[in-house]
Amino acid sequence: MNSVESKPNVKFKSVTILSNTEISPNVFLLSFKRDFAFRAGQVLGIAVSSNDDARLYSIASGENDENISLLYNIKPGGKLTPNLAILRPDDTLWITVPFGTYAGSDEPAYWIAAGTGIAPFYSMYRSGLGSNKILIHGSRTLDAFYFSDELLTDFGSRYVRCCSQQEGEGTYHGRVTQYLEALDNLPEDQKYYLCGSAEMVVECREILLSKGVPFSNVVAEIYF
């Protein structure tokens, strides 16, 4: 989830940035110390000035992690991200309280993400919900499988990387939608969590529905 203005009447508080690292071309992971509780899958409103409108980003760290991390890509001409990307450690970031109900559970499920849409699932995984999940991550390039070292270690064969524009060892060459199309016998009684752009979410949802998954088992989060 990203890029929507948050509630203007919600008060910001300031936090001090610990790190703001470009982990892939134009994609950054920003961290600051956690001093509040949240549920994995929730979003934060953030701004570089307390006078700005907040934009929403999914938290990309575990409920018990020491720091809060946010994964974002630079949108050329955007109001927030070009200014966010130049912030350095010890600079100030303004945040809202965490909110939202896109929450995971400890039931078996599929987590299906595209691009920076991996963030809420990484948060759920870091919060101990990953052991019975199948994680499918789609991206255009091989350098966009964020957190893949850690995910590969813990998920093993339950972690599927679909790369549409490059071929790589251990990755499926094609769109995440093509990968889903080719799957047979998808369990109809499990939840399918989706997070990514509107195109990705609606296309994946359509494929799941066509394979007999009831719409009540498709849990969608969208970027906007």
Compute the least distance from the CB of residue 90 to other proteins, in Å.
Answer: 29
Residue of 14, 26, 49, 210 interacting with other proteins (CB under 8 A) = 210
Considering beta carbons, is residue 84 or 195 the nearer one to other proteins? 195
- Judged by CB, which is closer to other proteins: 3, or 83? 3
Closer residue to other proteins, CB minimum distance, 106 or 199: 199
- Per-residue tokens: 197: 């752009």
Q: Taking CB under 8 A as the rule, does residue 191 contact other proteins?
A: no
Among 34, 133, 161, 175, binds other proteins (CB under 8 A): 175
Asked if residue 221 binds other proteins (CB under 8 A), the reply is yes
Q: Give the footprint of other proteins on this chain (CB under 8 A).
A: 1, 4-9, 43, 53-54, 56, 99-102, 114-117, 138-140, 162, 164-165, 175-177, 196-203, 205-206, 209-210, 214-216, 218-224
